[in-house]
Structure 1
Amino acid sequence: MREEEIYQVRRQRVFLVLSGIFLGSLAMLNIVGITRFLDLTFHVFGLKIPVTIAVGILPYPVTFLCTDLISELYGRKRAADMVWVGFLVNVWVVFILWLGGVLPGASTEVAIDAAGRRPLFFEIQEYAFLIVGGSMVAYLCAQFCDVHLFHFWKRLTKGKHLWLRNNGSTLVSQLIDTVAVILIAHFFSKNGLPLDPDKGMWVQLIVMIASGYVFKLLVALVDTGPAYLAVKLLRPYLGLKQYEEVYSKEFSDSSVDTQTST
């Protein structure tokens, strides 16, 4: 096998791995979503710092790392294509959850148990419908913002300072996503968010937004090192020189786009 053919196989393989992690994380967070909230409250010098995050937030920062790596190595078009595929995955998740709810259940299924609860599937379905509905809007806005800002900073710095475009694009897009998801989940659901009726609504919403965003911010800062390492290792593995990208329009062959560094 020729060297260029080897690089072609590697480029396709790496793209599939990054896309698989991205889409798997996206599907996971939309299913688990807000089914559980984690209380990570801590104290600093006697001061209580309330931190409440949805369990669905845990895999979400990984999606931004994947889009940043694909943007860096494969170009803006490939990253944008993956965002749209992620949107279709959201639609697919909703469809399967809807279909599973309308089809007749087994004869042994109990509609309402002794505690007045429905089968677990319907509880997951209710939460998933809520989070997917809200996250579809937030997802498209945040991910396209991430891709756009990543390439804006890349052009501005002429391909240098990966840390700037990696963190700058992610931090802005994560803020958009966090605010949109929390507000949509609260105002378009009956009891989707665990709010205490004895406390101020906006105070609790702000705590949730701030908690989720700070968590994502910390993860974004921490993943700068892995992002640098991944790019450093993958460029020679993919046969790319510094600042080169796999050419989007001819992804199936071994062409590379050398104009992105100018």
Structure 2
Amino acid sequence: MDENLTRVEGAAVAPRHFRYYDFIMAAFVAILLLSNIIGASKPSYVTLSGGTEWSFGAGVLFFPISYIIGDVLTEVYGYARARRVIWTGFAALVFMAFMAWVVVSLPPAKGWPGQDAYEFVFGNSWRIVLASMTAFWAGEFANSFVLAKMKVWTGGKMLWTRTIGSTIVGQGLDSVIFYPLAFYGLAGWPPEQLMEVVLSQWFIKTSWEALLTPVTYVVVNFLKRREGVDVFDTETDFSPFGHSKG
């Protein structure tokens, strides 16, 4: 390990200010909200050889970036600080859902032609909202937990194994929970298409993580050098509801 880094082990560390932590949190929340607003409900497809169409959720192109940021947070700052960011993102999702419900429910001004389109884009049912929140909560905490544990097991070596390994678990949970819970039994979502979307989401998200591994290395190494810290969660309380002084 770089001699300029402080290896922090244990359940919590003394409070300190980090230069980049708040910016990373803001990026995480922004990508999370935009992915849910813009891409979560739209199925798209690619044409495979032989003319077969393979369906996938459009949000998959950008949502995995939030998992990469989650990996960076846990790797550099530790599980406890990543947990704080996950809860911040969850609170933002709750507010987004509430705001969308209020705005869509307000009666439109007479003659305004956009109400139907507004309801179609932003008027998600509470079933979809609940599915999104549940999948995010379970997937992100699983991702952070697996990465933190693997970091201790590997002694901080082979970063790629834990970024990809944690993504397989976290993104798998996210995909398996969200799409069936949100769309199973609805018109336009036959079971075979739903299964295609779940599998393609899982595969594409994990592939994104693997492809962006070099970028993850660069960002992690930069942050560790600039922040001067490298947290190992050897005695951390991994409960999602735990508390840390860090």
* Equivalent residue for 2:73, pick from 48, 70, 73: 70
Which secondary structure does the structure 2 equivalent of 1:51 belong to?
A: strand
* Equivalent residue for 2:151, pick from 151, 154, 158: 154
Q: Deviations over 1:114-164 (max 9, x none)?
A: xxxx53211112337553221111111111100110111011112211111
- State whether residues 33 and 128 of structure 1, in contact with CA within 8 Å, keep that contact through their aligned partners in structure 2: no
Residue 168 of structure 1 is matched in structure 2 by 165
CA drift of 1:244 comes to: 4.4
Amino acid in the other structure paired with 2:123: E
Change (3 A) 1:131 1:26: farther
* Equivalent residue for 1:17, pick from 12, 23, 32: 23
- State whether residues 78 and 231 of structure 2, in contact with CA within 8 Å, keep that contact through their aligned partners in structure 1: no
Percent identity of paired positions between Structure 1 and Structure 2: 25
Q: Confirm or deny that 1:217 pairs with 2:228.
A: no
Residue 38 of structure 2 is matched in structure 1 by 32
Q: Confirm or deny that 1:184 pairs with 2:181.
A: yes
Change (3 A) 1:119 1:12: farther
Which secondary structure does the structure 2 equivalent of 1:12 belong to?
A: coil
Which secondary structure does the structure 2 equivalent of 1:53 belong to?
A: strand
Residue 90 of structure 2 is matched in structure 1 by 87
Aligned length: 222
- 2:19, 2:111 → 1: CA distance? 45
Aligned alpha-carbon RMSD (Å) = 2.5
Q: Deviations over 1:183-208 (max 9, x none)?
A: 012237x43xx33xxxxx43222211
Residue 198 of structure 1 is matched in structure 2 by none
- State whether residues 142 and 176 of structure 1, in contact with CA within 8 Å, keep that contact through their aligned partners in structure 2: yes
Query: Which of 147-156 and 178-187 deviates more?
Result: 178-187
- State whether residues 50 and 207 of structure 1, in contact with CA within 8 Å, keep that contact through their aligned partners in structure 2: no
Identify which of structures 1 and 2 has the higher relative contact order when contacts are C-alpha pairs closer than 8 Å and 6+ apart. 2
The structure whose Rg is larger is 1
Query: Which of 57-66 and 119-128 deviates more?
Result: 119-128
CA drift of 1:33 comes to: 3.7
- 2:52, 2:154 → 1: CA distance? 37
CA drift of 1:182 comes to: 1.2
What TM-score results when the alignment is normalised by the length of structure 2?
Answer: 0.81
- 1:140, 1:29 → 2: CA distance? 15
